[in-house]
Amino acid sequence: MFQSFFQYLILQNNDMVLLIRQDGRIVDTNDTAASVYEYDRRALLTMNFKELCAPETTFDISEAIKESTGQTMKFKTVQSSKSGEVFPVEIIARSARIDDEDMLLCVIRALSKTEPDGENRSKDKKYEEIKEAYEEIKTAYTELAKTTYKSFNDISSLVLSKRKEEQARKRSELLSNIDYLTGTLKRRAFEKQLDAEINRARRGNLPLSVILTDIDFYKQINDTHGHQSGNEVLKKLAEFLMQQCRSYDFIGRYGGEEFIICLSGASPEDAFKKAEHLCIAVPKLEIPGMDNIEITASFGVSSLRAADGENINAILMRANQALAQAKSNGGNCARMSE
């Protein structure tokens, strides 16, 4: 049995450790992995590795087992936590014969994001990440272009170069789902993730709510203080919303000055209390360069009616209607959909 061997790895390694079957099912893991992926360890043992891969990222476990037979594989990819946060990782993997079954043993290290230095220090970090992804793509294509007929004898090198190109391209696509200014999900990416959460809520008969918020009199802010100040308001509100939400909630920029929050597992009552709390807290935000200016926002709340077979369009429509009611009442308030 592999338990004692794997337990040794857990005790000796501070990185994430996963033992995976050919079909992708996770056989064993450690507490570090559970903490980083934001799942209970027992929950991880019911999951497939592909559920931990970032959107648009694929990883063939069966193929990796074949390629790593007798040798160690080392590569970088992008993973996703329960809250939807994506992060780059380096995986060191090797096939292992355990209990008469070929499995893949992975030691996974989350990669830290390096800060720009010198004159680049003031640049937006996400811009730097996208630029880095582009450079990875360019490098990968350059390596492929250098491939000669003789090098085709080394299939592993060719496969590795191709994989680098694919991973860099997918990472760039992943970053393209993030709104450059606020760091929240773009509307299309948010709706894709919300649709998946709605399906999960239906299967588990779990509650789900959304909060749609809109900054009051935003055009007046832009006209009076300029677009740069308007951008600072958007960034500050987005930062505040992300700080106020739970680790497994996710936020998207729904429109120009509109943001939307998905509250998985939140009842209508809990979601409305959250919206009221946010409504009270927003005017207290301090915006750089806008002293003595109070910012307010309106909030519309709706909860999934799974029993009625409600889909994403219906729950979003009702959130919009609730927000419209809040606006018609003068703003700076929260309303629940009927």
Q: Which of 191, 197, 232, 257 is catalytic?
A: 257
Q: Which residues lie closer than 8 Å to 327 by C-beta, 6 or more apart?
A: 214, 216, 298
Q: CB-based contacts of 55: which residues, under 8 Å, 6+ apart?
A: 80, 86, 174, 177, 189, 192, 193
Q: Reduced to 3 states, what is the DSSP secondary structure of residue 325?
A: helix
Q: How far does Cα 156 stand from its chain's mean position?
A: 31
> Residue 23 — φ and ψ, nearest 5°?
-85, 5
Helices 155-175 and 125-145, axial angle in degrees (round to 10): 150
Angle of the 218-225 helix axis to the 227-244 helix axis, nearest 10: 140
| Residue corresponding to tokens 């009927």 | 338
Listed residue (210, 303, 221, 286) closest to 257, CA to CA: 221
Residue linked to tokens 């937006």: 124
Query: Is 232 in the active site?
Result: no
Tell me phi and psi for residue 297, to 5 degrees. -145, 155
Query: 131: which residues sit within 8 A by CB, 6+ positions away?
Result: none
Contacts for 153 with CB less than 8 Å, ≥ 6 apart: none
List residues with catalytic annotation.
257
